[in-house]
Amino acid sequence: MSVIINFKICDNAEECNGIAVCPTGALAWDKKKKKIVINNKKCISCGKCAKVCEVGAISVAKNEKEYKEIKKEIDNDSRKVTDLFTERYGAQPLYTPFFIIEKDFNVHVLKAKKLTALEIFSNESIKCLLYSLPIRDILKG
């Protein structure tokens, strides 16, 4: 039926993977507006765009009811696109002394005499940025 994008978490980049895989051009980059635009008349509901969206911002609704549910989720989403660019815990270590390389894992984690918190992350994944905790949230808690 139609594509819907949660622009609260979409970085709205010209290099969008959804645009790249869309076989009909339903998703496109508008050079004048400098943003991603959707032409749902061209959409064939293949779902390719949603599958390649690294942050899960793109959804494909198969019917009007599903569209309304997705739209409601987006309306209730408290995140903002600026959250993608917030200093975060999870995408990078806070302090290098706490960054443990793989060869030292046994000594610093498995044989630790004190309680140890461990986080596994990938510098290559935008999902680590999106789903990790902003430092401001840790400091509040």
Same domain, 16 and 65: yes
Q: What is the DSSP string of 20-38?
A: HH-SS-SEEEETTTTEEEE
The range of the structural domain enclosing residue 64 comes to 2-81
Whether residues 73 and 97 share a domain: the answer is: no
Question: 21: how many CB neighbours lie within 10 A of its CB?
Answer: 16
Do 15 and 62 fall within a single domain? yes
Which of 62, 81, 100 terminates a domain? The answer is 81
Q: How many domains does the chain have?
A: 2
Cβ contacts of 55 within 8 Å, gap of 6 or more: 9, 10, 11, 84, 126, 127, 130
Task: Give this prediction's pTM.
Answer: 0.62
The per-residue pLDDT string of the chain (141 residues; one tens digit each, 9 = 90 and over) reads 689 999 988 888 899 999 999 999 999 999 999 999 999 999 999 999 999 998 889 999 989 999 999 999 999 988 777 766 655 544 444 444 456 777 777 777 788 777 766 666 666 666 666 666 665 555 555
| Shared domain check, 109 and 71 | no
Residues 108 and 58 in one domain: no
